[in-house]
């Protein structure tokens, strides 16, 4: 590979520039050409475009705590009805709205409600809420329904709360797989009793308390949880939230049904998390106001090597349809108990932005983690760097070509004028575009 040595201005040292002088002035005509000329020392000085969604945490559910999160980059506050009580949700919404009213920029922070529906959860391990255990392949685990073990779970005996799903023992069969938490721990059902399930660990790993129990996806489960889901939709409407993320989105009709409960100004985002929702992606995108790529749930139904392709496929199709798309699950999960993400996590966040994600969702990092503020700060910095690395000219041309192929190109005068202004500014290398408007649209 060719390289050149360029002296540094401030001292007598120098730096090696791979590619050589001829590449510095190369006209950018392709993505690979753009990539070869990325400036590592360039400061990301422009405002961040990617939206950061933070799941509410009990440790910062105060006026000062939410204000700090907003000041450091939170754009949307996410409320998870499977974890947060309705009282806590109302309190957080009230604080967020009050902060917006007091700010110079009205409605700068939105509120999203994630309707995962009430689910079966484990109890806590002996030692407190932060205690964890490590499961190994082949371990025998007994899932018990006795509430005496609710806060006294052990590695061998784990309490699961079936109050939301009392028909559980009639729903499961020997050989069924049960996933815990985000799906990393897999149990195989060996025996089914009246008050316990005997299981064997197929895939192990660390686990803390109060984790979601993910059951085999069968139609009866939807019917059992449907009434709770309708109550959650009604609660979201009462709170007048800005967004609803719905897990009941296997087809377009589910989106249409959800919208019937909500006011017109509440946008419904569909969680793409099953094979059926991927199969029906086109119709779901058409009827939903936005899409959430739920990687944790997709990782249960698809092998790991397929997840990156699914992410790109879902984001690409949503971009072409001009709908916003968010990515969630395990973006910076190591920040649950560490002040910095791993290098792989930093690259994952950046690549999600480069794929075309409009927003990134922090879950356990802010909901339960020790460093929620640092998580949003670091994610904001990574997003800004990734946005500077995009090759906007090629992206715009490719999106236009795809939309033209699908008959999605807009031909109204305002869109054509805006497109022409961008192309003119790019051709003359303008530093900015000033828009004079009477309507603000």
Mean pLDDT of 21-29: 50
The 10s digit of each residue's pLDDT in 344-400 is: 999 999 999 999 999 999 999 999 899 999 999 999 999 999 998 888 777 877 877
Percent of the chain with pLDDT over 90: 49
3-state secondary structure the chain: CCEEEEECCCCCCEEEEECCHHHHCCCCCCHHHHHHCCCCCCCCCCCCCCEEEEECCHHHCCHHHHHHHHHCCCCEEEEECCCCCHHHHHHHHHHHHHHHHHCCCCCCCEEEEEECCCCCEECCECCCCCCEEEECCCCEEEEECCHHHCCCECCCEEEEECCCCCCHHHHCCCCCEEEECCCCEEEEEEEECCCEEEEEEEECEEEECCCEEECCCCHHHHHHHHHHHHHHHHHHHHHCCCEEEECCCCCHHHHHHHHCCCCCCCEEEEEECCHHHHHCHHHHHHHCCEEEEEHHHHHHHCCHHHHHHHHHHHHHHHHHCCCCEEEECCCCHHHHCCCCCCHHHHHHHHHHHHHCCCEEEECHHHHCCCCHHHHHHHHHHHHHHHHHCCCHHHHHHHHHHHHHHCCCCCCCHHHHHHHHHHHHHHHCCCCCCCCCCCCCC
Asked if 331 and 361 count as a contact pair (C-beta separation under 8 A), the reply is yes
Kindly indicate the confidence band of residue 282, based on its pLDDT and cuts at 50, 70 and 90: very high
User: Would you kindly state where each structural domain of the chain is located, as residue ranges?
Assistant: 51-118+222-390, 121-214
Query: 12 or 293: whose pLDDT is higher?
Result: 293
Kindly indicate the confidence band of residue 19, based on its pLDDT and cuts at 50, 70 and 90: very low
The 10s digit of each residue's pLDDT in 126-148 is: 877 778 899 999 999 999 998 88
Asked if 390 and 308 count as a contact pair (C-beta separation under 8 A), the reply is no
- pTM listed for this prediction: 0.80
Mean pLDDT of 213-231: 64
Query: 379 or 39: whose pLDDT is higher?
Result: 379
Q: What angle do CA 180, 168, 89 make, to 5 degrees?
A: 60
The 10s digit of each residue's pLDDT in 155-186 is: 899 999 887 677 777 888 899 989 888 778 99
The 10s digit of each residue's pLDDT in 74-95 is: 999 999 987 888 999 999 999 9
Which of the four CATH numbers 3.20.20.70, 3.30.1360.30, 3.20.20.60, 3.90.320.10 does domain 51-118+222-390 have? 3.20.20.60
The mean pLDDT value of the chain amounts to 85
Quick check: 120 pLDDT over 50? yes
Kindly indicate the confidence band of residue 5, based on its pLDDT and cuts at 50, 70 and 90: very low
Mean pLDDT of 65-77: 95
What was the pLDDT predicted at 27?
A: 57
Q: What CATH number labels 121-214?
A: 2.40.33.10
Q: Measured between alpha carbons, how far is 94 from 106 in angstroms, rounded to an integer?
A: 15
Handedness of CA 40, 46, 48, 49 (dihedral sign): negative
What was the pLDDT predicted at 2?
A: 45
Identical fold at 51-118+222-390 and 121-214?
A: no
Q: What angle do CA 160, 163, 167 make, to 5 degrees?
A: 90
The 10s digit of each residue's pLDDT in 121-130 is: 888 898 777 7
Residue whose token pair is 């040292």: 13
């Amino acid at each position: 590979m060719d390289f050149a040595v360029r002296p540094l201005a401030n001292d007598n040292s120098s730096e090696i520039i791979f590619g050589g002088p001829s590449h510095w002035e190369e006209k950018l005509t392709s993505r690979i050409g753009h990539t070869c000329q990325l400036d590592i020392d360039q400061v990301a000085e422009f405002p961040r475009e990617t939206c950061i969604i933070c799941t509410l945490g009990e440790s910062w559910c105060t006026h000062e705590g939410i204000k700090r999160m907003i000041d450091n980059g939170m754009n949307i506050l996410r409320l998870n009805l499977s974890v947060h009580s309705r009282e806590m949700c109302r309190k957080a919404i009230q604080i967020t709205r009050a902060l917006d009213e007091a700010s110079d920029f009205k409605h700068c922070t939105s509120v999203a409600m994630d309707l995962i529906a009430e689910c079966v959860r484990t109890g806590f391990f002996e030692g407190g809420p932060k205690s964890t255990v490590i499961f190994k392949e082949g371990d025998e685990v007994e899932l018990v329904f006795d509430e005496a073990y609710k806060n006294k779970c052990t590695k061998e005996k784990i309490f699961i709360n079936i109050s939301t799903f009392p028909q559980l023992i009639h729903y499961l069969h020997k050989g069924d797989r049960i996933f815990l938490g985000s799906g990393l721990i897999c149990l195989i059902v060996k025996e089914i009793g009246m008050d316990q399930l005997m299981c064997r660990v197929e895939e192990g790993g660390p686990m803390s308390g109060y984790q979601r129990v993910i059951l085999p996806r069968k139609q009866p489960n939807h019917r059992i949880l449907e009434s709770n889901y309708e109550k959650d939709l009604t609660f979201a409407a009462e709170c007048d939230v800005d967004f609803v993320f719905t897990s009941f989105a296997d087809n377009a009709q589910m989106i249409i049904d959800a919208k019937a409960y909500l006011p017109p100004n509440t946008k419904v985002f569909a969680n793409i998390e099953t094979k059926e929702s991927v199969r029906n992606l086109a119709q779901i995108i058409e009827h939903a106001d936005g899409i959430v790529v739920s990687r944790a749930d997709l990782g249960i139904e698809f092998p790991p090597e397929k997840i990156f392709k699914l992410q790109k496929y879902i984001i690409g199709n949503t971009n072409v349809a001009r709908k916003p798309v968010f990515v969630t699950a395990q973006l910076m999960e190591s920040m649950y108990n560490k002040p910095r993400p791993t290098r792989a996590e930093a690259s994952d966040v950046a690549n999600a932005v480069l794929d075309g994600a409009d927003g990134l969702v922090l879950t356990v990092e802010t909901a339960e983690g020790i460093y929620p503020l640092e998580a949003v700060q670091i994610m904001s910095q990574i997003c800004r760097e990734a946005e500077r690395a995009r090759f906007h000219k090629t992206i715009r041309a490719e999106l236009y070509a795809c939309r033209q192929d699908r008959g999605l190109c807009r031909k109204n005068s305002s869109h054509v004028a805006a497109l022409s202004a961008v192309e003119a500014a790019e051709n003359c290398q303008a530093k900015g575009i000033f828009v004079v408007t009477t309507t603000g649209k």
